Amino acid sequence: MRHYAAYGSNLDPARMLAYCPHSPMVGVGWIEGWRLTFAGEGEMGWEGAVTTIVESPGDRVFVSLYDVHPWDAAQLDEVEGVPAGTYQKLTVRVSTLDGEVPAWVYVFAGYEGGMPTAWYLSEIANAAEKAGAPDDYVSELRRRPTRTASPEA
């Protein structure tokens, strides 16, 4: 499988181009029955929680789809912490305008909980905006609680 569904800061096409220069973005879609959340606060010396997704009937997560070249797959696994056990890869179905596409996602290998920093949440919301997420989705991201003051404060 070559499709990767990005849902956090990897929604930013420029970020993905830097990580995976041989892997074009091929579209956007939704992972139905899952929700974006945070995990890992206080683990491994992180300042705040990091993004992950969990199953949640009735919810959905906006994603960008990338056709990941094998040359880039190992690099992306490394960046996402798969070898260290921070994230694990799962296969999900992404709903697109052209139908469903199987893709892999990275899911935090631990329990849900914690809040992101304001800076990190801003990065995720900006990435979603750059990827073409609907305005209401981006606004909802920006309204989430954080463990630090907003970057504008």
Annotated binding site: 4-9, 120
* CA nearest to 90, candidates 114, 129, 118, 61: 61
Is residue 23 within 8 Å of 68, Cβ to Cβ? yes
Residues with active-site annotation: 80
Instruction: Tell me if residue 131 falls in helix, strand or coil.
Output: helix
Is residue 11 within 8 Å of 57, Cβ to Cβ? no
Per the annotation, binding residues for substrate are 4-9, 120
Token pair, residue 108, equals: 């935090």
Is residue 10 within 8 Å of 18, Cβ to Cβ? no
Chain position carrying tokens 């798969």: 82
